[in-house]
Amino acid sequence: MHIAFAASECVPFSKTGGLADVVGALPRALAALGHQVSVYVPRYRQTKLTDPQTVVRSITIPFDDKYRFCSVVAADTNTPAGIKFYFVDYPQYFDREALYGTPVGDYPDNAERFAMFSRAVLEASKVLGVPQVFHCHDWQSALVPVMLRTLYAEDPAFREVATVFTIHNMGYQGLFSPDTLPLLMLPWDLLTMSKMEFFGQVNFLKGALAYSDYVTTVSKKYSQEIQTTEYGFGLEGVLRNRAATVTGILNGVDYDEWSPQTDKFIAAKYSSQDLSGKAKCKQDLLQAFGIKNADTKLPVIGIVSRFVAQKGFDLIAQIMDRLAQEEMIVVVLGSGDKLYEEMFQRINKLFPNKIVAKVAFDNAIAHKIEAGADMFLMPSRYEPCGLNQIYSLKYGTIPIVRATGGLDDTIDPWDARTGKGTGFKFTDYTGEALLATIKQALLAYRDPSSWQTLMRNGMARDFSWGASAREYGKIYDRARQARASAGAVAAAELKKEPVLG
């Protein structure tokens, strides 16, 4: 089967979060199963291509004010057989400092930027190969299924092409003014409650939910949560109406990059059979954070995250002063809301060798935290899948998580009596529940023998992409069947004789 991915980011070419990891890794797993995969992403300033080859010289994209012309280039990278990477090239839109916006806010022309991208994907595919399924990711590519069923509804090239849309985070939907529709040459009748209208605005994500053949999200628990008022961000009713075609498939991880047996960033390699290297990684981590004369017997809690309330930093703020009284060390890597950046700066001045934060994103330091910490903290308000808790399992770094979304799906609570479980979980979204769970983990750490059992339990878990890719293959088949059925119904309607009055 030929599947075309459309997404706004993809490792190793561009990245702001876990979406890029998925779009970079899933095609490889699908290709290993025998599928052909084309991956379309924008060509950003940060997209480094040493010898790009232009494969579509010019694509005309109509806007209400004027035509714009983009091209498509192919990646020069050595990719596995069955995968091709294509980049929509339009410097006026994509040659910018960041992918989506500045610290002040989103780029004001994001609707035009990603509408161009979506239409370019459809036009390029007619030259480079029309797929059997378009697999689109998040609101930036949401107009692909919308355009397919509106502007391109009569195009025979796409008549049998199915669409699968994956929600990576319901909190980001692509909301724009109604005036966006005519600017993008989209029909006004999309501005209805059953299509793209959302409290007076145009909602790109809602359009994809209305027009895609199947909708997936990145964990089973999250697929259930987004159909509730608490997690649906106003679209829970749309998803409940489509419940039969909504499913959750857990993200996999790339163990070629995230494994203590091969990790190029860590001080010593180790495995579940020989854990001795983890102590060296812990010492190296403390040195990397400038923690002097640290007692390496103290447990180290690691955090790698964006500093936003969604990730539970409001809970951490509630308990930080009390947490600092515990016998442990906290190392933090990330950036985001100024409120939380200043919180860590304040607490670090009070406890300079106990709670230390690096306000940045540094891939090497992220690996050092996974390998050198004893525990990994993810108290998210909601978490569609989460990858760091899965990385942590492989490194024998025990996750402390809130039971939501993919965190709940991937972590089993530790039971010292039976020796089963892989981490620690709490349910109530309160600082008290978080602090109690951290204390439970710190207490368990005092028993080295059972703690090593807990570490090995996690290291034995396998969240590689193979199983998830097979599940996606099943969804592609269902989407194609649904599209074939819809096409048959449409053909039958066309054949009906007009009724004469």
Domain residues of the chain, as ranges?
2-252+467-487, 277-459
Predicted pLDDT at 501: 47
Predicted TM-score (pTM) of the model is 0.90
Q: CB-side exposure of 267: number of CA atoms within 13 Å? A: 20
What 8-state DSSP symbol labels residue 418?
T
Positive or negative, the CA dihedral 334, 342, 300, 294 is: positive
Query: In CATH terms, are 2-252+467-487 and 277-459 the same topology?
Result: yes
Angle at 84 between CA 80 and CA 90, to 5 degrees: 145
Best CATH choice for the domain 2-252+467-487 from the list 3.30.930.10, 3.40.1180.10, 2.60.220.30, 3.40.50.2000: 3.40.50.2000
- Alpha-carbon distance of 16 to 445, in angstroms, equals 34
The first and second tokens of residue 184, run together, are 């993008």
pLDDT in tens, 441-462: 999 999 999 999 999 999 999 9
Q: Which residues contact 383 (CB under 8 A, 6 or more apart)?
A: 222, 311, 401, 402, 404, 405, 406, 407
* Bridge partners (DSSP) listed for residue 355: 330
Predicted pLDDT at 488: 72
Q: Taking a C-beta distance cutoff of 8 angstroms, is the pair 148, 186 a contact? A: no
Burial class for 30, CB neighbours closer than 10 Å (0-12, 13-18, 19+) = buried
Class of the CATH domain delimited by 277-459: alpha beta
Angle at 296 between CA 344 and CA 460, to 5 degrees: 90
Strand ranges across the sheet with 398-402: 355-359, 329-336, 300-307, 375-378, 398-402, 424-426
Helix and strand numbers (H, E) in the chain are 17, 20
SS3 247: strand
Positive or negative, the CA dihedral 45, 49, 51, 55 is: negative
Predicted pLDDT at 188: 97
The first and second tokens of residue 404, run together, are 């939501």
First to last CA, the chain: 47
- Alpha-carbon distance of 442 to 326, in angstroms, equals 9
B/e letters for 224-259, b = 16+ CB within 10 Å, e = fewer, are: bbbbeeebbbebbebbeeeeebbbbbbbbbbbebbb
- Alpha-carbon distance of 180 to 143, in angstroms, equals 12
- Residue ranges, the chain, pLDDT below 50: 501
Rounded to 10°, the helix 465-495/18-32 angle is: 80
DSSP string across 206-224: HHHHHH-SEEEESSHHHHH
pLDDT in tens, 174-222: 999 999 999 999 999 999 999 999 999 999 999 999 999 999 999 999 9
- Alpha-carbon distance of 77 to 149, in angstroms, equals 34
CA 92 to chain centre: 26
* Bridge partners (DSSP) listed for residue 302: 331, 376
